[in-house]
Structure 1
Amino acid sequence: MTTSDLPTVMVIGNCQADVYRDLLRSSGEVGVVDVRPVYEMTAADIPSLHADLARTDVLIVQPVRDDYRDLPLGHSQLAAQLPPSATIVLVPVLRYAGLHPYQVLIRPPRDRSLVPPIAPYHDLRAIVAAATGDRAVLEASPNAEQATAAARESVEALRVREQAHGTLVASDLLDGVPRWHTINHPDRRTLATVFDRILDRLPAGLLTDPPRIGDREPLGATRAPVEPAVECALGLPAGEPAPSRADLSRADLSRAAATGARSGEWLVDGSPVPSSAIIDAHLDWYSATPGVVDEGMRRHAARIEMLGLR
């Protein structure tokens, strides 16, 4: 059987979708259509995208609102271009802030491609410090009530999104406090389970030997530290560091508990970077990049209040 004779699969979404796409491509039993992420698409991409969809047997897609960026890129709009016999698998965008309650993503409306230096995640303590000039907030650490509330809110938000869009269910996987690397980079166990649920939605017999993630961490190149106060509040095993902090000594862990946001190490593309260096770089970037702090304060006002930062 040639590649052109294989059933065709298209996967559209973020970095999590990239993992599912790469797994399917490795199977050899389906042809995977390469498409750009929707946030990179322009009007010039639409004709070829529609032509590919018309020949697609399975569309695996994360929810996208209709007329996203004034283009017909909503998941329902894409599904309308499929053959009548095609299978659609709607997969939720996974977010979990339980381990990293201060970590957020911010997309300024004037330029949604703007990301801070070193690590593309914002710390709400740095956002509030930049907004108010109060650098003491950088030393904040969540109490048990704040940490557990942030975790519960994160799980409930995913459940609401699943129900609103009719996606397959993944929120139950967060109840066990999985050791994610960042708020949107799940660990391999979470990704493997979601991929198994995707496989369950595929036409019978499409894959006779489904691929597996194995022992690798597909999204583990960048890992944020987990604060001891959070580990304690969530009832994680005492003295068991998260994978992102595996190189830290017990003395490092003690200092991290005492100094909050400006302690600990990230792994960024596999290299250790002190949290304090990232926060300092972000504060400088906020000063030079208007609009980001205001958008962060507006968009994440409820979480800022929940965590007692204002």
Structure 2
Amino acid sequence: MSHTPEPGTTAAPAGSPVDARRRHYAEFYGLAPLPTDFGVVLGNCQAESLRTVMDAPDRRFVRVPAVHEMTPEDAERLHEVVGAAHTVVSQPVRDDYHGLPLGTRQVAASTSGRVLTVTPVRFGGLHPFQAAVRVPGVEENPPIVAYHDVRTLAAAAGLPVASALQPAAVRAIGRASVEELRRREAATDVPVSDLFDSVTADHVRTVNHPGNAIWLPLGARILETLGTTGSVTDPGRPLLNAVRAPLAPEVVDAWSLTDEPRDHWILEGVEVDDAEVRVAHTDWYASHPEFVAAAVDRLAALLSVWRNA
């Protein structure tokens, strides 16, 4: 079925990736009508998981692209959409993010509806070896997974580190993550950090991909803050589940998990040996020494735990 493109845009060929993307965000792009009453959840890839548990047939939160994927045309359309929204739930986004008016303050100025902020969630207590870090000037990611193992990184930099941590050190990394969440949430409207008072393997899949154990109670908390009736929507599937990092024995011990340790990754349901990832990343680091130098500096605090273990 064809459709008329929005003013100022060009229709993408049917079946193209661009066309598929527009259909995925059909309400946002005007391919389907916006609901009469709706909210918007704005932020990185975590925002869609939060939207999923808050959305319901009688309580709509429309799907919008992640801010880091938005084009200038998307940014313009976003301001139109939020202008009609009764609620905007947003992660804190700086003004002129990626050179576009996507900052939380800028977006909030386009709506007379209610605006709530909630911090992005990161937690290192289940994957104390892992970091998600970017270095200016190095746009590509390492192969297989876009996460860095500080042990592999340290080896590339010639720094001796332990191969494993004691459970107490694992818990210390977890506590540091929670303290950072507390610091960040102090400037937002909805707290998150207390959801880690007890830890399960479902709390995070990777350091920056929380699981349903976070999304369901956090969604319920936001709906309660908004005074919205009805419970959260259980999607019946694990959210942000495309990448699952290994689960080390000392992590299982540290949090008294019921899960078995796992020394492999699970990528889109396929098991990938961690040794394969580490070999590929070692080769990548060898060809990106500028990344290694900058990442070692940025991850100094985490590396110190592994160097002193």
Same fold (TM over 0.5): yes
Task: Name the CA shift for 1:214/1:33 in 2 (closer, same or farther; >3 Å).
Answer: closer
Q: Tell me, in whole angstroms, the C-alpha distance in 2 between the residues paired with 1:69 and 1:240.
A: 40
Structure 2 counterpart of 1:196, which letter? A
Q: Superposition pairs for residues 107-122 of structure 1, below 5 Å?
A: 107-112=134-139, 114-122=140-148
2:121 is aligned to: 94
Q: Superposition pairs for residues 3-22 of structure 1, below 5 Å?
A: 4=34, 6-22=36-52
Gaps of 5+ in 1: 246-263
Q: Tell me, in whole angstroms, the C-alpha distance in 2 between the residues paired with 1:116 and 1:195.
A: 33
Gaps of 5+ in 2: 1-31
Shift, 1:31, TM fit: 4.5
- SS at structure 2 position matched to 1:155: helix
The equivalent position to 1:173 in structure 2, one of 176, 188, 195, is: 195
Per-residue CA shift, 1:12-50, capped at 9, x if unaligned?
A: 11222111223444x122444443221122434332222
Shift, 1:123, TM fit: 0.5
Shift, 1:80, TM fit: 1.3
1:285 is aligned to: 284
1:157 is aligned to: 180
CA contact 1:116–1:285 (8 Å) conserved in 2: yes
TM-score, normalization by structure 2 = 0.81
Task: Name the CA shift for 1:215/1:50 in 2 (closer, same or farther; >3 Å).
Answer: closer
Q: Greater helix percent: which structure?
A: 1
Q: Superposition pairs for residues 72-221 of structure 1, below 5 Å?
A: 72-83=101-112, 86-112=113-139, 114-132=140-158, 137=161, 140-163=163-186, 165-179=187-201, 180-204=204-228, 208-213=229-234, 215-221=236-242
Per-residue CA shift, 1:148-184, capped at 9, x if unaligned?
A: 2211101101111101x22311101112123122112
CA contact 1:97–1:150 (8 Å) conserved in 2: yes
Per-residue CA shift, 1:114-133, capped at 9, x if unaligned?
A: 2221122110111111112x
- SS at structure 2 position matched to 1:295: helix
Task: Name the CA shift for 1:300/1:167 in 2 (closer, same or farther; >3 Å).
Answer: farther
Answer 1 or 2: higher relative contact order, Cα 8 Å, separation at least 6: 1
Per-residue CA shift, 1:170-215, capped at 9, x if unaligned?
A: 10111212312211222212211111111112254xxx54442255
Q: Tell me, in whole angstroms, the C-alpha distance in 1 between the residues paired with 2:91 and 2:200.
A: 21
Task: Name the CA shift for 1:141/1:201 in 2 (closer, same or farther; >3 Å).
Answer: same
Q: Tell me, in whole angstroms, the C-alpha distance in 1 between the residues paired with 2:182 and 2:119.
A: 9
CA contact 2:42–2:64 (8 Å) conserved in 1: yes
TM-score, normalization by structure 1 = 0.81
Aligned residues: 276
Q: Tell me, in whole angstroms, the C-alpha distance in 2 between the residues paired with 1:178 and 1:306.
A: 23
Task: Name the CA shift for 1:167/1:125 in 2 (closer, same or farther; >3 Å).
Answer: farther
The equivalent position to 2:95 in structure 1, one of 66, 75, 89, is: 66
Structure 2 counterpart of 1:40, which letter? E
Identity value in percent: 34
Q: Tell me, in whole angstroms, the C-alpha distance in 2 between the residues paired with 1:279 and 1:309.
A: 22
Q: Superposition pairs for residues 30-69 of structure 1, below 5 Å?
A: 30-69=59-98
2:58 is aligned to: 29
- SS at structure 2 position matched to 1:181: strand
- The alignment status of 1:296 with 2:300, answered yes or no, reads no
